Structure 1
């Protein structure tokens, strides 16, 4: 393989869904021996929580699963994310619209693939990953994120790392 793969997860505030997905994908990639080949990050489209650690509910679910979130802090999605990521994975349609609007505002052409997270889970009836900041159901988010990250890692291995 000539270069690594870059994945950026994007949600609204970057304290619940996207950092959970970042931590889970890092964990799964390390388990499969792919950790050194995949750069994984997360960002938000809103600036309410900049610099904050993941939400208490996210931390609790990751702790239960034995998954590290050390060093993670909320930040905004930026030009480099959009220009350099191979996979820009948004958590719902609202995040997708925000990212598309940012792409237009910056006048750039992303090199990677913009993917709605639930496209990774075609058997699920949900259109987007429910935001546990509002629903309070962090366990549901962890279940969806884990299944989706497994599917994403399978896709990355098929498309990029073989």
Structure 2
């Protein structure tokens, strides 16, 4: 099983959107027995809260479930539980590196999985209000990450 964690500032906009979209892609690919997805925030302000209304609205519009999702804060034990920890922006990446590092865990920027964009960060719609743009970036990035995961699984199977 491959475990993926998306991380943003408060875990109510970008990372839960990525979690929901990635879960949807994983389910549609029939990979839910092989890939698990979660999200967390750097800060504690929204722990226990549902995704932001803007995130819920765009996920509803695209028929993507966010059922049962509640904000949580990143914990150092996440490095023991996850194979991929994906930061939504450079500040999140810096904060993650300050919490803990562990060999064997892939800690990358989300935008590494989005092609043809000059942006290094997924803009925070909590401040910009542009949930449509974030949805487009997150959809593309999740597809790119899932492709990487599938390639890595194939390579491991070939080596076995």
What is the TM-score with the length of structure 2 in the denominator?
A: 0.93
- C-alpha separation in 1, matches of 2:103 and 2:62: 33
Partner Cα separation in structure 2 for residue 111 and residue 63 of structure 1: 36
Asked if 1:126 corresponds to 2:119, the answer is yes
- In the other structure, the counterpart of 1:153 is 146
1:80 maps onto 2:77 in alignment: yes
SS in 1 for 2:108: strand
- The alignment covers a number of residue pairs equal to 155
Matches within 5 A, 1:19-30: 19-30=16-27
Q: Which runs of 5+ in 2 are unaligned?
A: none
Computed over aligned residues only, the root mean square deviation of the Cα atoms, in angstroms, reads 1.1
Distance 2:23 2:6 in 1: 12
1:53 equivalent in alignment to 2:45: no
- Structure 1: runs of 5 or more not aligned: none
Q: 2:90 aligns with which of 93, 106, 123?
A: 93
- Aligned-pair distance for 1:123? 1.5
Residues 1:143 and 2:136 are matched in the alignment:
yes
Give 1:110 shift: 4.8
| TM-score, length of structure 1 as denominator length | 0.92
Q: What's the CA shift string for 1:95-142, capped at 9, x where partnerless? A: 000100011xxxx52531001000111321111100000000001111
| 4+ runs deviating over 4 angstroms | none
CA contact (8 A) 1:83 1:110 kept: no
